[in-house]
Amino acid sequence: MPRVASRKRRAWKRAAMTDVVTLVTGTRKGIGRFLAEHYVAQGHIVYGCSRQASDLVADNYTHFCLDVADERAVRRMMSHLRRATGRLDHLVNNAGVAAMNHAMLTPLSTVRSILDTNVTGTFLVCREAAKLMKAESYGRIVNFISVAAPLHVEGEAIYAASKSAVQTLTQILARELAGFGITVNAVGPTPTMTDLIRSVPQDRIDRLLASQAIARLGNFDDIVNVVDFFLKRESGFVTAQSLYLGGVC
């Protein structure tokens, strides 16, 4: 259930036109946590979610404990948001999981868990968010893809395939939602030091970095810069795009 005081909820009922309402998925840690803190600091009304509880506390932050692949839970979160703010300006679909393994050693449970979170979860949150955005004829959606797909990283067949699916989803949703004033784009980070890649051997990371035009690890600011660009009101003519960092294409 959401951690939100009822007084606060009343105060936010129907966000003022000047308020910016931003939903970021996967905000307990890593890139999502940084994004949530960034938009909280900018004064947005920020909603976040993850399967485990978050210790991020701020007056303008509300956390939901849910799995993005759980349709009922996603619907509940969105109807809470609808009641609390009456609208949603931004969705950043950051929640994601990865596993590195040779295809022949990858169990079905891993395949299902990656596809559930990365593809089904991204789709469900996009679908429900778009219904809320449509009411205001305005919205910005940013999905997360990865350089693992264009670089065909060995050991990441299912992860990379899930991100290719998200890229296609982004391109098609961009067309389907354009008429409602909603843009849909994707950002593709390079390796960035979070728990997601902590177990990847250093020689693998070095090889990956060497295949980028700019051979260094990514950092949170590199990613936020791209997300900020896609979320700008002025970016209304930018949709269906996938922007890979580090010169990967």
Q: Which is nearer to ligand NAP, 62 or 94 (CB)?
A: 94
CB 115 within 8 A of CB 61: no
- First-to-last CA distance in the chain? 40
Q: Which residue number, 40 or 68, has a Cβ lying nearer to ligand NAP?
A: 68
- The residue annotated as part of the active site, out of 39, 47, 61, 159, is 159
Q: β-pairing, 90-93 with 182-188?
A: unpaired
Nearer to ligand NAP, 21 or 142 (CB): 142
- Specify the DSSP class assigned to residue 115: H
Backbone angles phi, psi at 26, to 5 degrees: 70, 50
Q: What is the Cα–Cα distance from 145 to 159, expressed in whole angstroms?
A: 10
Smallest gap from residue 35 Cβ to ligand NAP (A): 9
Of residues 195 and 203, the one with the C-beta less far from ligand NAP: 195
Residue 35 CB contacts under 8 Å (≥ 6 apart), including other chains: 24, 27, 92, 94, 223, 224, 227
Place of tokens 């994004």: 35
Task: List the strands of the sheet with 90-93, edge to edge.
Answer: 61-65, 45-50, 21-25, 90-93, 139-144, 182-188, 242-244
Binding site for ligand NAP (CB under 6 A): 25-32, 49-52, 67-69, 94-98, 117, 121, 144, 146, 189, 191-192, 194-197
Nearest-approach distance from CB 54 to ligand NAP, in angstroms: 8
CB 79 within 8 A of CB 128: no
Could you tell me if 68 and 121 are in contact, meaning their C-beta atoms sit under 8 angstroms apart?
yes
- In the bound state with ligand NAP, the residue whose beta carbon lies nearer, of 33 and 44, is 33
Least Cβ distance, residue 44 to ligand NAP (angstroms):
18
CB of 164 to ligand NAP, least distance (A): 12
Minimum separation from the CB atom of position 208 to ligand NAP (A)? 9
- Separation of alpha carbons 146 and 109, rounded Å: 21
Active site residue 138: no
Query: Hey, which residues are catalytic here?
Result: 159
